[in-house]
Amino acid sequence: MQKTAITRRQFIGASAALTGGVMLSGLSGFAADAPVKRTAVDQVLLGKSGVKLSRLGIGVGSNSGNVQRALGDEGFNKLVRYAYERGITYIDTADSYKTHAYVQRAIKGLPREKFFIQTKMGGIPENPLAELDRFRKELGVDYIDSVLIHCMVSPDWDQSHKRVMDALEQAKQKKIIRVHGLSCHSLPALKRSVELDWVDVHLVRVNPQGAHMDTPAEKWDARSDVSHVPAVMEQLKLMHEKKHGVIGMKLIGNGDFTNPEDREKAARFAMHCGYLDSVVIGMKSAAEVDEAIDRLNRALAEMPKPQT
């Protein structure tokens, strides 16, 4: 048998080609085709804002913040830090919850840049920028990730709250806040919010049972049921198509879903609808943190490829 000599250059070239082939086959084969495991604590993009937050957030405003404040400093700190250790970096608060100072103490010593802190401004302050300065002082931060106009019910909220909107935009340009938006508590207000490019973030009440969801009535506490779900979902779809940031709230019906099956159903609905970037759930214990993560993880494991 005739032997063929192989030069060193030929050997190196062949080896490189083989290595490259293996790498490419890996990228186009198993690595590329393997399903992506989604979890409740993934860092996800908030619409087109470029801002990231954990898919699941911890709410510290249950019953207007009374539930979390009742934990006291030690209990509140343990709760937030436990959530952080589990991977939850999104904290949802509001001026009216009176939990700003609690949040400051809870995150002290932790990396500020790891957190997405969202708060809300109620009413129509004479000087919204001064209110933001107070918020930052109470939270102990140089900037706030997201500030929302709180609890809108009127379809002309953008007219009545123009001073607040202008101030929040000014704060965004100064990098005092990163994004702005609103929380809605009526369908007319929700519809108007979808029309406005000013809105970076929508905080929307959503669950499949229709509990505490937006209705045509211009009342924050109007009674709702499953019949109101389709209209809200239609607006969520429009928000998603416009690439606005969308965060779901009231997943467990403002705490009304005491039946675990209802909470499981709500988790699946929120994760499978394809319109929510993130969700926030009010929590008061490590067990509730664990349950929320587990339920969302199960729902995400069942979830097909995300809608685009």
Mean local confidence (pLDDT), 163-179: 98
| pLDDT range class, residue 44, cuts 50, 70, 90 | very high
Both tokens of 143, joined, read 């900037």
- For residue range 282-301, list pLDDT tens digits in order: 999 999 999 999 999 999 99
- For residue range 89-111, list pLDDT tens digits in order: 999 999 999 999 999 999 999 99
Give all domains of the chain, ordered by start, each with its CATH number: 40-301 (3.20.20.100)
- Residues of the chain by 3-state class (helix, strand, coil), percent to 5: 45, 15, 35
Buried b (16+ CB within 10 A) or exposed e, 136-155: bebbebeebbbbbbbbbbeb
Cα 21 to the center of its chain, rounded Å: 41
| pLDDT range class, residue 30, cuts 50, 70, 90 | very low
pLDDT at 36: 75
The residue among 241, 167, 174, 226 whose CA lies nearest residue 198 is: 167
Mean local confidence (pLDDT), 257-282: 96
| pLDDT at residue 7 greater than cutoff 80 | no
| pLDDT range class, residue 304, cuts 50, 70, 90 | low
Vertex 35: Cα angle to 32 and 39 (nearest 5): 125
pLDDT at 220: 87
